[in-house]
Amino acid sequence: MFVVTADQVDSRRRADLVGSALSTIRDRYAPRLAAAPDRNAGDELQVATEDAATALDLVLTLTREGAWSVGLGLGTVRLPLPENTREATGDAFIAARAAVTRAKRAASRFAAEAVVDTEAAADAEALTILLLTLRDGRSAAGWELYDLVSSGLTQAEAGARLGITPQSASDRARAAGLRVEFAAIPALTRLLARADARQTGAPDPEEDA
């Protein structure tokens, strides 16, 4: 199981973002969540999912604007899960708490933790931070292209939508590291799935595929 605990940055001087973030998470991810996402402690939110791709997408979404410190916990949870995540317990929730505490002090605002196999979580954290560092240097124009391509448009179609030539779209994509990110996402997803499986001694998901 993956548990994401996110703490709003500088919440005392900023408007509360938890409510709107939870609404977005419910709309975007509801079928892939293990329990309803919830406000955890005032300016925190917590989400649980069994899907590695969803966990990674949540991390990337929440870290994009620099408004959250994000902790990712891997491991087992006590079953059956309650209706809301704030009432749940288990290794993944303990790990997520440790991770978000450490994320508040990290330049990337992200950390990953596990109770059983800490090395697997550390590997996932290190490579996720590499991707976050690439994204942190992306310009507004790069994000504009990224959002269009992520919605399903080809790079050429996205360039046409933006009123730029195919060559300009290619140059913008290269500067934004889009090809690097799109290649890294599946690899990171597999790494996270394997890291989570190692917390329970379950077979490697790739070996079962």
How sure is the predictor about 86, in pLDDT bands with cuts at 50, 70 and 90? confident
Q: State mean pLDDT over 7-19.
A: 85
Cβ–Cβ < 8 Å for 38, 22:
yes
Report how far residue 18's alpha carbon sits from residue 68's, in angstroms, rounded to the nearest whole number: 10
Using the predicted structure, report yes or no on whether residue 168 has a pLDDT greater than 90: yes
Using the predicted structure, report yes or no on whether residue 98 has a pLDDT greater than 70: yes
**Hey, which residues does 200 pair with through a beta bridge?**
none
Using the predicted structure, report yes or no on whether residue 164 has a pLDDT greater than 70: yes
**Hey, which residues does 45 pair with through a beta bridge?**
6, 39
How sure is the predictor about 84, in pLDDT bands with cuts at 50, 70 and 90? confident
Tell me, what's the pLDDT at 9? 92
Sheet with 2-8, edge to edge strand ranges: 38-39, 44-49, 2-8, 68-74, 110-114
Q: CB neighbours of 115 closer than 8 A, spacing ≥ 6?
A: 75, 91, 94, 95, 199
How sure is the predictor about 205, in pLDDT bands with cuts at 50, 70 and 90? low
Residues in the chain: 209
Using the predicted structure, report yes or no on whether residue 202 has a pLDDT greater than 90: no
Q: What is the pLDDT of residues 32-79, one digit of tens each?
A: 999 889 998 778 999 999 999 999 999 999 999 999 999 999 999 999
Higher pLDDT, 194 or 41: 194
What domains appear along the chain, each with residue ranges and CATH number? 2-117 (3.30.70)
Please, what is the average pLDDT of the chain?
A: 93
Q: What is the pLDDT of residues 129-157, one digit of tens each?
A: 999 999 999 999 999 999 999 999 999 99
Tell me, what's the pLDDT at 22? 94
Tell me, what's the pLDDT at 14? 75
Tell me, what's the pLDDT at 206? 60
Tell me, what's the pLDDT at 208? 53
Cut 0.85: pTM above it: yes
Residue type for 139, please? Answer: S
Using the predicted structure, report yes or no on whether residue 207 has a pLDDT greater than 70: no
Using the predicted structure, report yes or no on whether residue 103 has a pLDDT greater than 60: yes
Token look-up 């975007």 returns 28
Tell me, what's the pLDDT at 204? 66
Report how far residue 136's alpha carbon sits from residue 195's, in angstroms, rounded to the nearest whole number: 25
Cβ–Cβ < 8 Å for 39, 49:
no
